[in-house]
Structure 1
Amino acid sequence: QTNAISATLYPKLSYDPIDDFAPISLIGREPGVLVVHPSLPVKTFQEFVAYVKERPGRIDYASSGNGSGQHLFVALLASMTGMKMNHVPYRGSGQATADLLGGQVQVSIPGTAGMVGHIKAGKLRALAVTGAKRSPQLPDVPTVMESGVPGYEAYVWMGLLAPKGTPAPIIDKLFRELTQVLATSEVKTYMASAGIEIVGSTPPEFGAFFRSEKELWARVIRETGAKID
């Protein structure tokens, strides 16, 4: 995912994050979860959107950094719902989570797995997950699409790439071997515990997905003006 975002976020890179690589497979993806501090008087996604719209520019959302997935996931959601919130970028997810738990900021969309414990302990309230379907770790939490925002779908994802120009037989061999590894019970168990959905797409499928992600986040970056100084 970093490459798809970096293609726009870092315009002066010495390499092309897309065209200088050959896609092998989308390994897996993890949805984010929209969480709020319990002091925010909302119980559902719909209540949250209404609450924020009534207070434009008065609600703060945390991210692990400017241009990070957490930043762009919220920015995309705000764009699609007409919400206006203040972005508070941190230097990493640790401090962002600490301030969210402490109530210094009210909203964030971090990865699902790391938030399950806080949600179950009542320290954070989950309103929606960002994937196309509900998370097995949070089966009672609806998706953003279920909650009334058609087309909203966002993941933290990982894929396998090779250098541009890698011969097709090698790409095919790596894909076949990766597919075998992803099918093992050990990997399935680990991925499930980490909240990651195994995908294992083909090289052409991953290439198309990679470019669609670049286009999506390029649009969000342009709209938000996100940049790395």
Structure 2
Amino acid sequence: MAAPLARGKSARRRQLLLAAAGAALTGGTALAQAPSAPTGDFPNRPIRLVVTFPPGGSADAVMRMLVPRLNEKLGQPVVIDNKPGAGGNVGLSLVAKTPADGYTLGLGAAGALTANVSLYPQMPFDPVKDFKPVGMVAATPFVIVGHPSIAARTQRELIALAKASPGTLSIGHGGNGTAMHLSAALFAQMADVKLVEVPYRGSGPAALDAIAGQIPLALVDLPASLQQIRAGKLVAFAVTSAQRVPMLPEVPSVAEAGLAGYDSTGWFGVVAPAGTPAPVVARLNAEINAALGDEQIRASMRNLGAEPAPTSPEAFEAYIQSETKKWAKVIQTARIRLD
């Protein structure tokens, strides 16, 4: 799920996120193989990686694919510590309070690093001031699906159906405040339709209810829906990235299907406490990108519906800033608020 190519702002976001991925695909692997800046004896003890997702999820699974390679190259074990809760706020608040020495890192996503500051009245950390971005790990586009009984087969027909009966068509998503929730809100805003949003505890339950016909629509991640789409148990209207994805090449993007400029992907990446020395960040970034360039790891990630997305720390930081502004506008327009 690499962040997508599109025109204008979408293209610039794509360029920021996937410059390194493009180099890897063409054989350059500039980021992955570039010499690291001097880091002294770092690391000389185990590194704690606070994963803000529960065990077994796609983000947790991806990091467990990377850890053996990181252990080998860093010469020290990277120990995963799962700390889910409050849309990622629980885990990242722990990271923000640790010494800025590179020995405690966080795996955060769009929620905690960009959207939560607009969703929650109070935050336990400042996403900009309290962290130093190390690098993106993966991007995860979503897909808009429906039960086969729905009287639409394309996105244009779906929008027309929603406009014909405002406020009656429901769409399930992975939970209030999640990237799926915000993606559904952005779709409704850009399509100028009123949908009844139904929050679930994750993609899986939302997809299951769509398969069973309990809800007509759902906006879910690829792992929860891919096999059911291929089996004809769900209709796929569009993917939320700005271009098509390799896993569903026959399904257009939302932008391609008529909502120009729509671009929304889930993603997760590694951050360190603010003040972490630049050579330490550079070493960590180089080893993460090198692991993401491994073809076996890339294939395994794609099987989970995750597209490797190596970046430089600077590109990751710029992307976080642009996404924070983008989602603040969506949240304000949709009047979404979490306690």
* Residues 89, 56 of structure 1: alpha-carbon distance in 2 compared, 3 angstrom cutoff: same
Preserved contact between residue 70 and residue 108 of structure 1 (Cα < 8 Å): no
| Aligned residue among 248, 260, 275 for 1:150 | 260
| Aligned residue among 126, 136, 139 for 1:26 | 136
Match of 1:218 in 2: 328
Preserved contact between residue 67 and residue 221 of structure 1 (Cα < 8 Å): no
Preserved contact between residue 207 and residue 224 of structure 2 (Cα < 8 Å): no
Q: Residues 27-69 of structure 1, C-alpha deviation per residue, up to 9 Å, x if partnerless?
A: 1101111101111110111111111111110101111211111
Q: Residues 58-104 of structure 1, C-alpha deviation per residue, up to 9 Å, x if partnerless?
A: 10111121111111111101101101111111233333222222212
| Aligned residue among 35, 38, 41 for 2:151 | 41
The residue correspondences of 1:1-229 to structure 2 (distance < 5 A) are 1-3=110-112, 4-229=114-339
Preserved contact between residue 130 and residue 143 of structure 1 (Cα < 8 Å): yes
Q: CA RMSD in A?
A: 1.3
Q: What is the identity percentage for the equivalent residue pairs of Structure 1 and Structure 2? A: 38
Could you list the runs of 5+ residues in structure 2 that have no partner in the other structure? 1-109
Distance between the aligned counterparts of 1:75 and 1:116, measured in 2?
22
For 1:81, give the aligned amino acid: A
Preserved contact between residue 204 and residue 224 of structure 2 (Cα < 8 Å): no
Distance between the aligned counterparts of 2:208 and 2:298, measured in 1?
30
For 2:305, give the aligned amino acid: G
Return the TM-score normalized by structure 2.
0.65
Preserved contact between residue 206 and residue 220 of structure 2 (Cα < 8 Å): no
Could you list the runs of 5+ residues in structure 1 that have no partner in the other structure? none
- 3-state SS of paired residue (1:110): strand
Preserved contact between residue 228 and residue 234 of structure 2 (Cα < 8 Å): yes
Deviates more, 1:122-131 or 1:103-112: 103-112
Distance between the aligned counterparts of 1:150 and 1:86, measured in 2?
23
Deviates more, 1:8-17 or 1:154-163: 8-17
Q: Residues 150-187 of structure 1, C-alpha deviation per residue, up to 9 Å, x if partnerless?
A: 11011110111110111111111111111111111221
Distance between the aligned counterparts of 2:203 and 2:256, measured in 1?
27
Deviates more, 1:84-93 or 1:136-145: 84-93
Distance between the aligned counterparts of 1:184 and 1:215, measured in 2?
33
Preserved contact between residue 182 and residue 198 of structure 1 (Cα < 8 Å): yes
Preserved contact between residue 10 and residue 228 of structure 1 (Cα < 8 Å): yes
The higher radius of gyration belongs to: 2
Deviates more, 1:91-100 or 1:145-154: 91-100
Pairwise CA distance, 1:14: 2.1
